[in-house]
């Protein structure tokens, strides 16, 4: 059956040899009544297993399977960008390869788009089958970032979403190298709707996220979408600077009035450490932002393609 309109599905893959075939089979099965022609864009993010072979095998069977393979692992954000740049079609969806993003939602997403929404996201109502400590920190991250950033980020929202061509073009018009997609999709605006679903486990393979990876990802999110840490640093620095002037005056006056009876060594050390620490803290925050500027100014490509069929 041929349809006039095309839905491109972007699938970032890192070591997903066991899941890609299952993914295509299940997604095809769940979308038979969708009045759209499906085209898959698999982005092999420098996998070290047989992912690329598995994808090529699929693309030999179906002409609607496109792929792009990176020269090394550039990260999921880079894979998403490559997919968005390569994808054609009127509607574009982003999905994980492990079937944690239920393909049956694609139909509902398309219905929402028909109703006039531009972006339809998927939102997990629970985080079961995820380590509790990870859920806890994830919750805290969303609380923090929504307090300190003007770009709203909804808790539980996955990268899984369907959007119109217009939205994709808007996201692609943002040329920054440091990409935090959750923030970018929210920043561009447009009419957004969310579909809730229960979390589910991967069909096969293992997650490539580790705790520190997620901590780093959170810091990226904060630094890319908020200037609050910079302001806090400036504020603390300013207050302590003023405070120390008064403290110095106080000691001078005290010394004139009643002399300096105690050598004052402990006080000195304490103050030294206090300011030393504070300065390092502020420098660290500043450094984080400067590092971003440094990366942006190099204008390096976000990814390098080694092989592709698109």
Interaction site with ligand UDP (CB under 6 A): 12-14, 16, 45, 73, 75-76, 79, 96-98, 100, 202, 207-209
Cα gap 222→211, rounded to integer Å: 17
**Closest to ligand UDP by CB, 27 or 100:** 100
Stretch that binds Mg ion, among 67-75, 93-101, 114-122, 237-245 (CB under 5 A): 93-101
Q: Is 68 helix (H, G, I), strand (E, B) or coil?
A: strand
| Minimum separation from the CB atom of position 32 to ligand UDP (A) | 23
**Closest to Mg ion by CB, 17 or 96:** 96
Contact partner at residue 16 from Mg ion, ligand UDP, none, CB < 5 to 8 Å by partner kind: ligand UDP
| Minimum separation from the CB atom of position 245 to ligand UDP (A) | 50
Cα gap 175→173, rounded to integer Å: 6
Give the residue among 73, 115, 88, 63 at the shortest CA–CA distance from 9: 88
> How many other C-beta atoms can be found within 10 angstroms of the C-beta atom of residue 282?
19
Label residue 308 exposed, middle or buried (CB < 10 Å: 0-12, 13-18, 19+): middle
Contact partner at residue 211 from ligand UDP, Mg ion, none, CB < 5 to 8 Å by partner kind: none
Give the residue among 8, 23, 7, 11 at the shortest CA–CA distance from 68: 11
| Minimum separation from the CB atom of position 228 to ligand UDP (A) | 26
| Minimum separation from the CB atom of position 98 to ligand UDP (A) | 5
The DSSP annotation for 266-281 comes to HHHHHHHHHHHHHHHH
Give the residue among 235, 214, 64, 81 at the shortest CA–CA distance from 135: 214
Stretch that binds Mg ion, among 8-16, 61-69, 97-105, 221-229 (CB under 5 A): 97-105
Cα gap 136→115, rounded to integer Å: 35
What residues form DSSP beta bridges with 195?
A: 122
Which residue in the set 18, 77, 98, 118 belongs to the binding site for Mg ion (CB under 5 A)? 98
Parallel/antiparallel/unpaired status of strands 157-164 and 119-124:
antiparallel
> Is residue 16 near Mg ion by the rule CB under 5 A?
no
**Closest to ligand UDP by CB, 18 or 118:** 18
**Closest to ligand UDP by CB, 203 or 286:** 203
Cα gap 92→84, rounded to integer Å: 8
Contact partner at residue 44 from ligand UDP, Mg ion, none, CB < 5 to 8 Å by partner kind: none
Contact partner at residue 200 from ligand UDP, Mg ion, none, CB < 5 to 8 Å by partner kind: none
| Minimum separation from the CB atom of position 98 to Mg ion (A) | 4
**Closest to ligand UDP by CB, 17 or 118:** 17
Q: What sections of the chain are H helices per DSSP?
A: 20-30, 51-61, 76-86, 105-114, 132-148, 165-172, 181-187, 211-225, 228-258, 265-298
**Closest to ligand UDP by CB, 87 or 233:** 87
**Closest to Mg ion by CB, 211 or 294:** 211
The answer to whether the CB of 3 falls within 8 A of the CB of 36 is: yes
Which residue in the set 8, 100, 186, 226 belongs to the binding site for Mg ion (CB under 5 A)? 100
**Closest to Mg ion by CB, 125 or 267:** 125
Residues that bind Mg ion (CB under 5 A): 96, 98, 100
């Amino acid at each position: 059956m041929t349809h006039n309109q095309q839905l491109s599905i972007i699938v970032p893959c890192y070591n997903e040899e066991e899941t890609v075939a299952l993914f295509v089979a299940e997604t095809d099965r769940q979308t038979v009544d969708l009045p759209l022609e499906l085209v898959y864009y698999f982005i092999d993010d420098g996998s070290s297993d047989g992912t690329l072979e598995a994808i090529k095998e699929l693309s030999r069977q179906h002409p609607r399977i496109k792929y792009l393979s990176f020269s090394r692992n550039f990260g999921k954000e880079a894979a998403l960008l490559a997919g968005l740049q390569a994808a054609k079609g009127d509607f574009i969806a982003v999905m994980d390869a492990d079937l944690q993003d239920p393909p049956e939602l694609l139909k509902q997403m398309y219905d929402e788009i028909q109703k006039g929404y531009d972006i339809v996201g998927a939102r997990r109502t629970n985080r079961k089958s995820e380590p509790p400590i990870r859920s806890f920190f994830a919750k805290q991250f969303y609380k923090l970032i929504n307090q300190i950033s003007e770009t709203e980020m909804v808790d539980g929202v996955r990268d899984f979403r369907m959007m119109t061509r217009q939205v994709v073009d808007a996201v692609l018009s943002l040329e920054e190298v440091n990409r935090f997609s959750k923030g970018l999709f929210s920043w561009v605006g447009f009419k957004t709707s969310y579909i809730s679903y229960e979390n589910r486990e991967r069909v096969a393979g293992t997650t490539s996220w580790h705790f520190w990876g997620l901590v780093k990802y959170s810091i990226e999110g904060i630094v890319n979408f908020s200037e609050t840490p910079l302001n806090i640093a400036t504020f603390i620095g300013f207050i302590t600077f003023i405070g120390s002037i008064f403290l110095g005056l106080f000691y001078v006056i005290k010394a004139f009035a009643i002399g300096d009876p105690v050598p004052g060594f402990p006080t000195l050390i304490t103050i030294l450490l206090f300011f030393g620490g504070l300065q390092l803290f502020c420098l660290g925050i500043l450094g984080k932002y400067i590092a971003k500027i440094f990366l942006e100014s190099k204008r390096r490509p976000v990814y390098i393609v080694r092989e592709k069929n698109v």
